[in-house]
Amino acid sequence: MALEEIIATLRARGYRITLPRRQTLQILLRAHSHLTCEQVHQRLVAQGLDVDEATTYRTLQWLKENGIIAQTDLGLGADVYSLIDSPLHHHLVCLRCGRISEISDSLFEPIRRQVRERYHFEPRIEHWAIFGICAECQSNEKGKIEPGNHGESGE
Amino acid sequence: MALEEIIATLRARGYRITLPRRQTLQILLRAHSHLTCEQVHQRLVAQGLDVDEATTYRTLQWLKENGIIAQTDLGLGADVYSLIDSPLHHHLVCLRCGRISEISDSLFEPIRRQVRERYHFEPRIEHWAIFGICAECQSNEKGKIEPGNHGESGE
DNA sequence: CTACATGCAAATCCTTTGCATCCAC
DNA sequence: GTGGATGCAAAGGATTTGCATGTAG
């Protein structure tokens, strides 16, 4: 979906289109990846827009409520925000090394269908993180935190 | 898994078994559901154990690192902690009314398998929340936040 | 005994909020 | 003109941390 198209939709819903809102949206459209609020804010400032970070939080919240972007916890401390555009994608996050990789949305289709059919629940699975251990860390430190294994220290 | 069995495992890993640790574990074993750190702490105090909440956070962290419990964000503000015991279960959380319902782990088996096979990634899907709109809210306020629909206000 | 766990209190840090001002419509 | 959006600054609240003390092994 193009910028002006989204803008028009939001305007049609009765919202006011301000410069902070327009530019925030533009940044997310161009990003092609997820960004923290802080990162979005930094880019806004870099573009010469003297906007407050609280406003950026409010704008992101608003875009989320309007189904334009998704909010995700990737274990980075701060949540990330990303455009909901097709094709959807999700992430694998390694609990050991922190590496984040991308996975296809197709894996989630079965679970979406079953949740709809069996529970009559409409799932919003737009940008997810699956935590676990990546291939590399599996070979490096086999099942270090597996229950039943023998670890060594509290940290 | 029984209390003493878990204790023995942890002791074998070289950890010290203190009263706060033993009783925290006991509370989680008896709970048969998820609890926030605050709730765990309250129960510890109610049992007459004058433990600090910071210690409770540390204990929960430790149990998590040792694969005994899972930590989940159910959208309640604070994360919840629950024993990893079979059969696993997960939750549907309604974004409208907040209702939380339980779903079977079997829905997740396909995605676990595919993540393992296709990405050689070992997923830790122990206690998840799927956010979305429950059946009741769907009929009450059809697709209020669907992209493409016409909502009304910022709040 | 000695290192690890705890108590206490303060700090962190993401996120939200109150209120006066401003501006999109 | 008017109500919604923003700036500013401060609060909020879950979680973490530093350090002295206590205690499990």
Query: pLDDT tens digit string along B56-100?
Result: 999 999 999 999 999 999 999 999 999 999 899 999 999 989 999
Please check whether residue B150 lies inside any domain of the structure. Answer: no
Same domain for A44 and A116, yes or no, is: no
Tens-digit pLDDT string for chain A (155 aa): 799 999 999 999 999 999 999 999 999 999 989 999 999 999 999 999 999 999 999 999 999 999 999 999 999 999 999 999 989 999 999 999 999 999 999 999 999 999 999 999 999 999 999 999 999 999 987 544 444 333 333 32
What span, in angstroms and rounded, lies between the C-alpha atoms of A4 and B139? 32
Q: Which of A47, A67, A84 is the last residue of a domain?
A: A84
Residues 6+ apart with CB under 8 A from B72: B34, B79, B80, B81, B82, B91, B127, B128, B129
Assign residue B58 the CATH number of its domain. 1.10.10.10
Please check whether residue B149 lies inside any domain of the structure. Answer: no
Same domain for B98 and B129, yes or no, is: yes
Chain A interface test: which of B117, B130, B136, B142 (most A C-beta within 10 Å): B130
Instruction: Measure A126 CA to nearest chain B CA, in Å.
Output: 10
Mean pLDDT of chain B: 91
Q: Is the pLDDT of residue B155 over 70?
A: no
Same domain for B75 and B93, yes or no, is: no
pTM: 0.88
What span, in angstroms and rounded, lies between the C-alpha atoms of A85 and A5? 13
**β pairing state of A100-104 and A89-94:** antiparallel
Binned at pLDDT 50, 70 and 90, residue B142 comes out as low
Same domain for B14 and B79, yes or no, is: yes
Q: Which of A60, A84, A108 is the last residue of a domain?
A: A84
Same domain for B123 and B92, yes or no, is: yes
Please check whether residue B133 lies inside any domain of the structure. Answer: yes
Same domain for B137 and B93, yes or no, is: yes
Predicted pLDDT at A140: 83
Q: Whose CB is within 7 A of strand D?
A: A 15-16, 18, 20-21, 50-52, 54-55, 58-59; B 11, 16-19, 36-38, 53-54, 57-58, 61, 77-79, 153-154
Please check whether residue A110 lies inside any domain of the structure. Answer: yes
Q: Which of A53, A84, A115 is the last residue of a domain?
A: A84
Same domain for B127 and B116, yes or no, is: yes
User: What percent of chain B is helix, strand and coil (3-state, nearest 5)?
Assistant: 45, 20, 40
Same domain for A28 and A99, yes or no, is: no
Task: Flag residues 38-67 of A with CB < 7 Å from strand C.
Answer: 38, 53-54, 57-58, 61
Please check whether residue A153 lies inside any domain of the structure. Answer: no
Q: Is the pLDDT of residue B147 over 70?
A: no
Please check whether residue A11 lies inside any domain of the structure. Answer: yes
Percent of chain B clearing pLDDT 90 (strictly above): 87
Give the nucleotide with minimal C1' distance to the Cα of B18: D24
What span, in angstroms and rounded, lies between the C-alpha atoms of A155 and A151? 10
CA of B58 to C1' of D19 (A): 16
Assign residue B113 the CATH number of its domain. 3.30.1490.190
Same domain for B37 and B92, yes or no, is: no
Amino acid present at B106: S
> Which chain B residues contact residue A110 at CB under 8 A?
107, 110-111
Which of the two residues, B145 and A107, has the higher pLDDT score? A107
For chain B, what is the domain count?
2
Please check whether residue B114 lies inside any domain of the structure. Answer: yes
Please check whether residue B152 lies inside any domain of the structure. Answer: no
Predicted pLDDT at B150: 34
Same domain for A125 and A110, yes or no, is: yes
Same domain for A72 and A101, yes or no, is: no
Query: Which domain does A101 fall in, by range?
Result: 86-142
Same domain for B74 and B26, yes or no, is: yes
Chain B interface test: which of A16, A119, A128 (most B C-beta within 10 Å): A119
Protein residue at shortest CA distance from C1' of C9: B54
Predicted pLDDT at A148: 35
Instruction: Work out the number of other CB atoms within 10 angstroms of the CB of residue A120.
Output: 13
Predicted pLDDT at A142: 57
Nearest residue in chain A measured CA to CA from B133? A122
A122 to B101: CB separation less than 8 angstroms, yes or no: no
